[in-house]
Structure 1
Amino acid sequence: MNGWNFIGILAWIIVIALLFLVVFNIRNRHLKILVEHKTKITWKTVCLDALEILVVIVAVIGMLYVSLFSRVDLNNKQDIAVSYKFEPMIMQTTKDGQGYYIKIDKNSSNGSNNVYQYWLDNSKYSVSSREASISDGTLPFNVSGVHLNWPMKKISKMDQKYQYAYVVTAEAKYKSNFINGLGMRAGHYASEYRVLRVPARSFINYAK
């Protein structure tokens, strides 16, 4: 485990300890009023109880937010590190001898999402269209809906090296810092997205 994540563990221990402390404090305060002083609980006591409970609720919501519900900003260079991997695809052939790099398997698709199949080093890989897109080499490199700073100079070099037939994998990883440690995600992968680059649309096999 990344050492920064112990910040989040310690923070949760403090929040849980605070919860038990508040419950214990409220119980003792009420017992002291009812048993020792034999008086009624006043609005002042109720307001103090509510304030302590509110502090605990805010602490729990804050920790849940940073741990589970905070959105990932892939362009936030302070918290996210993005790396790019380039791998050449291996051409496959249909029964009639037509070459292709990507097979779109609609039988395996889920709803409006397709499943893209491609080959690297003679191994088959499958990825959902939610986590990947196809880029036609006859058009300028463009990935809609994914806000990443794509390394265009590197991509231009790979276009020439692999003849527009390769996979670009963008891997976003949480950096080791206080905020990510508080959310117990330092060193973990935030997301992964793949761009399947083909020379032209004719190199795609649309399976029925």
Structure 2
Amino acid sequence: MWASWNWLGVACWTLAVIILIFAVHNIRKRRLKMLVTQRRHFSAANFGLDLLLIVIVAASFGTMIYATFLHTDTIADSSAIQLDYRYRPLVMQTRGDQVYLVRVHNGSGHTPIQTYTYWTEGSKYQINSRDATISTGKKIVPAEAAAYPWPTKSMERMENNTRSSFVAVIKATYKNTPFNGLGMHAGRAASYHEIIRIPSDLFVYIDNPATK
């Protein structure tokens, strides 16, 4: 989603490029003039102005590179990040004699990624193990997802109302603020994670179990 403050970033990047072009043109013009009219290869005044322009160019590009590519906000920073939570009660599935709430497909390679498939009322969802965690223990939020600020009371209500059969979703979005706009992040997704909560491992169906 493109937010209004992102135009600030576009304008500042444009200004940084204009400053660079002006600096290169100005330095070249003054050096040529010094060589032709003054027949000199060095001037303290010219050198000082060159340094000033180089510092301005470095500062403008450094600021924009930091804001656009290097700056990161913590997910709990409410001044920069908007958090949204959603909950989806799970619907039981059957395959032969087995009933399950989530189906797992194991990936391949040196660092295999699992794909989780689950169903809610009228919908089917798929997500990989980088963006989701299956929770079956006493704690609703497993250690793998504990870095996210989950709402404890809402999670406990869903735990009781669904008998531990639901999906909790957290979506973090950059707010439409001037600094987020400077880096052209405003309105864009910052982070996403799901907890697939099921009563026990018995409700997991694995398509292709890993074998030794």
C-alpha distance 62-54 of structure 1, shift in aligned 2 (>3 A): same
Give the distance between the partners of 1:197 and 1:110, measured in 2 at CA: 27
- 2:87 maps to what in 1? 86
Is contact 1:174–1:190 with CA below 8 Å preserved after alignment? yes
Give the distance between the partners of 2:153 and 2:17, measured in 1 at CA: 50
| Deviation per residue, 1:102-141 (Å, 9 max, x gap) | 11101478823211111123433221111110111x5112
Is contact 1:90–1:122 with CA below 8 Å preserved after alignment? no
Mapping for residues 56-95 of structure 1, pairs under 5 Å: 56-95=57-96
Larger fraction in strand: 1
Q: Which moved more, 1:104-113 or 1:13-22?
A: 104-113
Give the distance between the partners of 1:143 and 1:34, measured in 2 at CA: 71
Is contact 2:73–2:80 with CA below 8 Å preserved after alignment? no
Give the distance between the partners of 1:110 and 1:4, measured in 2 at CA: 42
Identical aligned pairs, as a percentage?
Answer: 30
SS in 2 for 1:156: helix
Residue 191 (structure 2) pairs with residue 196 (structure 1): no
Matched residue type, 1:188: R
Q: Which moved more, 1:99-108 or 1:47-56?
A: 47-56
SS in 1 for 2:143: coil
Is contact 1:109–1:115 with CA below 8 Å preserved after alignment? no
Residue 30 (structure 2) pairs with residue 10 (structure 1): no
Matched residue type, 2:36: V
- 1:37 maps to what in 2? 38
Give the distance between the partners of 1:103 and 1:131, measured in 2 at CA: 16
Mapping for residues 150-161 of structure 1, pairs under 5 Å: 150-161=150-161
Matched residue type, 2:19: L
Give the distance between the partners of 1:82 and 1:160, measured in 2 at CA: 23
Give the distance between the partners of 2:205 and 2:144, measured in 1 at CA: 24
Q: Unaligned regions of 5+ residues in structure 1, if any? A: none
SS in 2 for 1:195: strand
Q: Unaligned regions of 5+ residues in structure 2, if any? A: none
Give the superposed CA RMSD. Answer: 2.0
SS in 2 for 1:66: helix
Post-superposition shift, 1:53? Answer: 2.3
Give the distance between the partners of 2:186 and 2:33, measured in 1 at CA: 45
- Equivalent pairs counted in the alignment come to 206
Is contact 2:171–2:193 with CA below 8 Å preserved after alignment? yes
C-alpha distance 110-180 of structure 1, shift in aligned 2 (>3 A): farther
Is contact 1:108–1:115 with CA below 8 Å preserved after alignment? no
- 1:27 maps to what in 2? 28
| Deviation per residue, 1:149-188 (Å, 9 max, x gap) | 2111001111122221111110001111111011111111
Post-superposition shift, 1:35? Answer: 1.3
| Deviation per residue, 1:65-118 (Å, 9 max, x gap) | 2112322410111100111000111111122x2110111101478823211111
Residue 55 (structure 2) pairs with residue 49 (structure 1): no
Residue 116 (structure 2) pairs with residue 120 (structure 1): no
C-alpha distance 110-3 of structure 1, shift in aligned 2 (>3 A): farther
